[in-house]
Amino acid sequence: MKSKLIEKVILLKRMLEDMEQDIGLSSLTNVEKSVYLAAQDVKSPDGLVGTKLILSHPFTQKMSRPTFFRALKAIETKGFIEHSNAKKVGLFLICKI
C-alpha cells in the first residue's frame, strides 16, 4: 500500500505533466525543460535573458556545460528561444508559446 505522501507526489507529477502538455512543453526533454524554465524565470521584462543568468539558476547549476549548451541549442531549434539582435552571443529572446 502506498503512503499518503507518495500518493500526493504522484498526483502532483501527473498534474505537472498535464500542465506541461497544455502549454506545449511535452516535446522537450527534462534537461531542455529545466533550461527553458530557468530562462523564463530570470528573463527581463522585455523577454531577454543572458546565458550566464540561465547557467546560474538552481535548475541548471548541476548540469555539465556541454549538456547545458546542447539543451540551449535544442530549445532554440525547437523555437522556444531565439538569438537576440542586440548581441551576437550569449543573449536570447524568449519566444511566446
Place of cell 505522501: 5
Per residue in 65-74, pLDDT tens? Answer: 999 999 999 9
CATH of the domain at 72: 1.10.10
Percent of the chain at pLDDT exceeding 70: 98
Strand spans (E) along the chain: 48-50, 81-83, 91-94
Structural domain that includes position 61: 28-94
User: What type of residue sits at position 26?
Assistant: S
In total, how many domains does the chain have? 1
Is residue 52 situated within a structural domain? yes
Q: Is the pLDDT of residue 36 over 80?
A: yes
Residue 17 lies in a domain: no
Read off the pTM.
0.88
Mean pLDDT of the 30-41 span: 97
pLDDT value of position 1: 63
d(CA 78, CA 1): 41
